[in-house]
Chains A and B, each alone.
Chain A
């Protein structure tokens, strides 16, 4: 996994806090991971665990104020030029101006993002094609309009939109939910990014359409050799999309391992509890064991492990005293728990 040539993203001790009237929300509180081209990382967690904020921090899309990346590094390994003779440039996005030209070019060109609700990502008054094209014209110097249009049509075809040469002039409301999501993928990929972030991109879709979109993302990732960061609350979906998975809870990484390890040999009590609380389509049919309690308030200041109050195996006096570190308990398997 230490494949330096393909290393694209290094997130190191990222902390993103929101300073609200009611208090400070530590939405992301020290998250680190590396992401390589051609590989995919799944991020699992419940609402408020900081999975989306992590993605937004990478793209510097956190609304500020009230949000601010207070600590950490987000290093992008950008490669200029093509085949072999490329020069590597390492950029810390946290050092860039939120809406400066460099950051805008990273957002448009280097990292594509697809969201849950595709309707809000498209302006209703412009055609789908013109919005995708705009992205291309903006980030590709010297491209002609004709060329941009042709590449847009090509991309729409690639993401599975039938009659793309006609649909390129359609307006967003003329598309179904699934087609809009395809168009959004086309928009995210039109500039040939090195990384794609999917933030619950299939949550609003029907299962059958979800399957199609997941398939499409998988194919495109392999084809374009992109790094993929896939965020979802749906464990099964993340399982299908990722090589490795991080499990987040209240802004912290609780467990980080390969997908097979996370599914077949989960270690953290939270991961274990999650597994026992979800019904599956093929597993043994037995009574589910819910995780007791509710998520603590986001304003809460928790000195120890944030899962302490809901944990079955908690050790009072130890777990609530200090936050356990994220430990590598087996090669490539990190767990934040005093039990290991």
Chain B
């Protein structure tokens, strides 16, 4: 899938999103928060790219810039599909509206992502309505078809969100994203607010829908086990930067970036339980308004050398992965030991 000659569905080049915030009460100063800083990424049609990172790593902002829910500060996003190549970051007006049909978002919070004053028909039908794709009877038919796809029932059409459980609400959110028949879906932590027994239902639904409609997912999550389950490749973000990207098995088993190692070591295990024998890395998530010079991970990196403090590493190919670490080749980092049985 990856090695086909056709261009990648999404090309993200030097994408940046800076927010400015005011700090201090007496002495106000304007600080720039680099939520996404110079990210380069390619996403193949039909794949699931998992994006992981701590809070403040910029994963949500990245997803929202790609779908133009946020206006990027700089950089380009290209979409290559049957209709040719479009420059997403430059779209305006009707063109932007047409692009929105192709790239939809599933949100994390099943409560705040549905308007409590609109029933299922109105919520799922809204994208069709505002794009003038259907109305009246036809709209209802298409909405019905879609909600059946996500495991809801016809009699749910007239119900309001308050009568649904978290899992069902998330299905409504998925239906809303699906109804425009998009090519790309950015799923922003779609299962983290759900009960454990419901998470698998939604994950399997997403996988089935992907196979059926050849969807491309950007799956944003902080839960490594969930990302491992659903993704083909995994991108690791730290402080607005892409620090490692690779096929999931390779990345999990043989991480090349020290941050990936830290992240993996922190994941609680069910099979190899290690009470009190854990190798915990100290340190806090970075202050985005006050990042160090050189490599952003230096303050938490146990392998850091002088060069790391002086110079920011470039993202480069090391083995199967893309890594931004000066010592990616020489470090032997610990990954996950998969169970073989």
Report A's interface with B, CB cutoff 8 A.
Answer: 46-47, 160, 176, 178-179, 206-212, 214-215, 218-219, 222, 233-237, 239-241, 259, 263, 273-274, 277-285, 287-291, 294-295
Contacts and interface: CB of A to CB of B under 8 A. Distances in A.
Given A215-B280, A274-B196, A288-B204, 15 more contacts: A207-B266, A215-B276, A218-B276, A219-B276, A236-B269, A236-B270, A241-B275, A278-B225, A279-B199, A279-B226, A282-B272, A283-B271, A285-B228, A290-B199, A290-B204
Q: Lowest 9 A-B CB distances belong to which pairs? A: A236-B268, A290-B200, A279-B229, A211-B266, A288-B200, A206-B54, A277-B200, A290-B201, A291-B197
B272 A214 contact: no
Interface stretch (B115-123, B281-289, B310-318): B281-289
11 contacts: A206-B55, A208-B54, A212-B282, A218-B276, A222-B276, A236-B225, A239-B269, A239-B273, A280-B269, A290-B200, A295-B165
Contact of B54 (A207, A235, A237, A287): A207
A178 B284 contact: yes
A289 B201 CA distance: 8
B274 interface: yes
B54 A240 contact: no
B167 A279 contact: no
B296 interface: no
A304 B225 CA distance: 35
A235 B269 contact: no
Given A208-B283, A240-B268, A295-B165, A263 B273 contact: yes
A290 B198 contact: yes
Instruction: Kindly name the residue among B252, B275, B339 whose own CB sees the greatest number of chain A CB atoms within 10 A.
Output: B275
B200 A207 contact: no
Nearest to A202: B268
Contacts of B276: 215, 218-219, 222
A280 B273 CA distance: 12
A234 B269 CA distance: 11
Nearest to A240: B268
Contacts of A206: 54-55, 222, 285
B217 to A, nearest CB: 15
Interface residues of B, number: 49
A234 B223 CA distance: 11
Given A235-B196, A274-B197, A284-B341, A176 B268 contact: no
Contact of A278 (B199, B252, B284): B199
Interface string B53-67: 011000000000000
B281 A208 contact: yes
B166 to A, nearest CB: 8
Contacts of B338: 282-284
Interface of B: 54-55, 165, 167-168, 195-201, 203-204, 207, 222, 224-226, 228-229, 252, 262-276, 278, 280-285, 336-339, 341
Given A208-B262, A240-B274, A285-B229, A277 B196 contact: yes
A285 to B, nearest CB: 7
Contacts of A208: 54, 262-263, 266, 281, 283, 285
Nearest to B227: A279
Contact of A210 (B198, B266, B336): B266
Nearest to A47: B195
A207 B280 CA distance: 11
Contacts of A278: 196, 199-200, 225, 270
Given A207-B54, A295-B165, A281 B269 contact: yes
Given A206-B285, A219-B276, A294-B168, A233 B226 contact: no
A234 B268 contact: yes
Contacts of A46: 195-197
A289 B263 contact: no
Given A208-B54, A236-B270, A281 B336 contact: yes
B32 to A, nearest CB: 20
Contact of A211 (B200, B226, B280): B280
Contact of A277 (B165, B199, B265, B270): B199
A278 B265 CA distance: 19
A48 B197 CA distance: 13
Contacts of B274: 240
A279 B225 contact: yes
A176 B278 CA distance: 23
Contact of B203 (A207, A212, A288, A295): A288
Contacts of A282: 269-272, 336-339
Nearest to A160: B282
Contacts of B229: 279, 285, 288
Nearest to A176: B284
Nearest to A221: B276
Which of A211, A274, A285 has the most chain B CB atoms inside 10 A of its CB? A211
A263 B339 CA distance: 15
A125 B264 CA distance: 38
Contacts of B222: 206-207
Given A236-B270, A240-B268, A240-B274, A281 B225 contact: yes
